[in-house]
Amino acid sequence: MRIIISPAKKMSAGDATLKHQGLPVFMKDTIRIMEWIQTLKLEEAKSLWRCNDRLAAQNFERFRDMNLERRLTPAILSYEGIQYQYMAPAVFEDRMLDYVQKNLRILSGFYGVLKPMDGVTAYRLEMQAKTVIDGKKGLYDFWEEKLYHEVADDSHVIINLASKEYSKCIEAYLSPKDKFITCIFGELEEGKIFQKGVYVKMARGEMVRFMAENNIREPEAMKEFSGLGYRFREDLSTGQNYIFIK
């Protein structure tokens, strides 16, 4: 079973308490993306990142001086978004780190697919960014089916805790053998399910923690999740969508 999650825009740039274990699998592709970004002028890079002047200057400098093999941080400790705050990997027990290293994969516009303990450097690049690299328009076209083949394992079970921006990289290449289960965290209002962005991110992080703590090996066991007041609703769920209502 594999679990997929999105990265976060905000990243730490310093050393972590844990040492990384190896480099990302698609380093040659990452180098190609880096080299393309390094050819951009500041205004072009700002447009690519769709950010303010301060963030553009910070990331422009990061890419200018980027070294993909030095002062690296384990990926799972590098991202600082809400999902990662609620996952709280910095206080994982060793067995929980082993679990996520085996089962969890972080999707990335820059690195493609990351194991939690892969060494990464701070960057900014969303999957929807308008790149033109080696004749490929956009990162979806650049990565094509590579990410799916790296994520899929012999179980053919993929638990989707990623945003649509990232999950579509996998979903577009699913085979008939695959069981792709999306976890939906929402609230019922007048019979309709509403998902609220911040709470969804919090719940996704809590779900990863729950799965690691309990060594979840089958999707059925995920139904016991009750973090942040969410409860699994069998009556609303399907084989493709597990619905948790707050």
Give the rounded distance of the alpha carbon of 159 from its chain centre: 12
pLDDT over 70 for what percent of the chain?
Answer: 99
Element (H, E) at 114: strand 112-114
SS3 state at 84: helix
CA dist 61 to 54, 128, 133, 228, Å?
11, 22, 21, 39
Q: By CB neighbour count within 10 A (0-12 exposed, 13-18 middle, 19+ buried), where does 156 fall?
A: middle
Contact 203, 228 (CB under 8 A): yes
Structural domain of residue 45, as residue ranges?
A: 2-245
- Whether 231 shows a pLDDT value over 70: the answer reads yes
- What's the rounded mean pLDDT across residues 147-158? 97
- Whether 14 shows a pLDDT value over 90: the answer reads no
- One-letter amino acid of 108: S
Question: pLDDT for 51-108, tens place per residue?
Answer: 999 999 999 999 999 999 998 999 999 999 999 999 999 999 999 999 999 999 999 9
**Model's pTM, two decimal places?**
0.96
Average per-residue pLDDT for the chain: 95
Specify the pLDDT at position 16.
65
What confidence tier does 17 reach under pLDDT thresholds 50, 70, 90?
confident
Specify the pLDDT at position 18.
82
- Whether 209 shows a pLDDT value over 70: the answer reads yes
What confidence tier does 220 reach under pLDDT thresholds 50, 70, 90?
very high
Specify the pLDDT at position 228.
96
- In total, how many domains does the chain have? 1
Question: pLDDT for 35-62, tens place per residue?
Answer: 999 999 999 999 999 999 999 999 999 9
Element (H, E) at 53: helix 53-64
- What's the rounded mean pLDDT across residues 171-179? 97
